[in-house]
Each structure stands twice: as structure tokens, then as C-alpha cells.
Amino acid sequence: MSTLYLIRHGQASFGAEDYDVLSPRGIEQSRALGRHIAGRPVAVDAIYAGPRRRQLDTARHMAEAAAELGCPAREIAVVPELDEYPAIELFRAWLPRLAAEGGPLARSLGNLAAGGAPPSSESVQAAFEHITHRWARGELDTGDLESFHAFSVRVERGVRSVMAAEGRGRRVALVTSGGPISIAVRLGLGLSEEKTIRLSWVIANASVTELRWRGDELSLFGFNATHHLAPDLVTFR
């Protein structure tokens, strides 16, 4: 049996011009994770990461902190299939349409869709959940944007490629984002589309979700662990 440690990237720069950059807290989360890995009795055999800067930098800071405490240096292999789904693009494309549909949520979003004053964070979160739920159910015309089905197929292909490359008896760290982690958990639990999306919203930065595999079968052994982080380092965005 082999083990896959699925790690969500450290805190990125939410609200900044370039989200895809680790914040100072995100860097410290990544290093805390590396120190935790170094303290385990059994070393990680390989490190993989998705292609985004926040994913790769999390893996690098993690590996460097572990190496400083005597862990063997590991090269980081990039898996393009483990990129996140196009959440921001979906939100931007569908916000004006949602605002035009009417109802309390639409009224609260009208100013934002028109480029005016932003609504409350609760309204924005509700809009995001509404859009992503409909995306997961296949109800949105995504145009050139990736569908939930295509996203699921892509992530499964990436996870399976890592499993095939590593084989039996291996312990593998894979740094990605909340969406791909939820798809990997879905492979082990058979979750519905909506439950899969909902799961992705509660995955903490620099958390560890543990899957184990034998052959093609994946089983969930741990979800969203953050015990290696100090309380002030536990974040969700």
C-alpha cells in the first residue's frame, strides 16, 4: 500500500492584483509543514506539485524547511493536470448574469456587476457558491471555460499518473489546491458533484489530506489536518 499526502498551497494573496503569490503567512505555513515532515519517523519519497506559482512555491518552501532539518533534498515534479479549476473566471463571467436574474441575491450583487460599490462579503460568498454549484451540476454554459466534468477527468488523470509513476510502498506529497484535493477525495468516497464542490470550500491552507492506494483503489485515511500549524497560521483563503 502507498500513501498520497494531498497538500493545499499556503495562503495566497487574496484581494491583491496577483492572487497567485504566497503571502508572508503562506510562506510560514509552508515552512511549518516542512518542519512537520522532517519530524516524522518515515520520510516522504517524492514531491509533486501543480503548475501554479502558489503551488510550486509552497512545495519549494516546504522542501527547503525539511532539508534544513536533515531530510533528503527532493526534486519537485510538476503535474499540469493538478491545476485548480477556473473559479475566478467563472465568477467574473456569471456574476452579471446572476445579477440580472432578480431576487435578493441579485439585488445585492447589482452594484458589483455594474462596477460599483462592492456588496457584503456574505453576498459575494453566496454568489460564488451559487455559481459553482450550478457549474458542478452542469447547468452553466461555460463556453471556453472548463466544465466540472472536464476538470474532474483532468485531475483524476493527474492523480492516476502519479500513482502509476510511484508504484507500491511509496509515500508521496502532492501540493495542489482545494479543488483537485476534493476531486481526489471523491475518487475514494464516490461523492456527488455538489458535495465535492462543497468539500473544496473547507480545505485549509497548508492542510494535509491522506489517501492510500493499492492498485487502482483509493481510500481516505485523513482529511484536512492542520495540527502542524500554530492556531494563528490556520487560514482558509
The verdict on domain 2-84+151-226 having CATH code 3.40.50.1240 is: yes
Phi, psi (rounded to 5 degrees) for 214: -135, 115
Cell of 78: 510538476
pTM: 0.88
217-225 and 208-214: which strand pairing?
Answer: antiparallel
The confidence score (pLDDT) of residue 76 equals 95
Q: What is the pLDDT along the chain (237 residues), one digit of tens a residue?
A: 899 999 999 999 766 667 789 999 999 999 999 999 888 877 899 999 999 999 999 999 999 999 999 888 889 999 999 999 988 888 777 777 776 666 555 555 555 555 555 555 666 777 778 888 888 888 877 788 899 999 999 999 999 999 999 988 999 999 999 999 999 999 999 999 989 999 999 999 999 999 999 988 999 999 999 999 999 999 988
- Closest CA relative to residue 30, chosen from 210, 202, 233, 182: 233
Kindly state the helix (H) or strand (E) to which residue 218 belongs, with its residue range. strand 217-225
Query: What does the angle CA 113 – CA 83 – CA 196 come to, to the nearest 5 degrees?
Result: 75
Intervals of CATH 3.40.50.1240 along the chain: 2-84+151-226
Region class of 15: left (phi > 0), else alpha (psi between -120 and 50), else beta: left
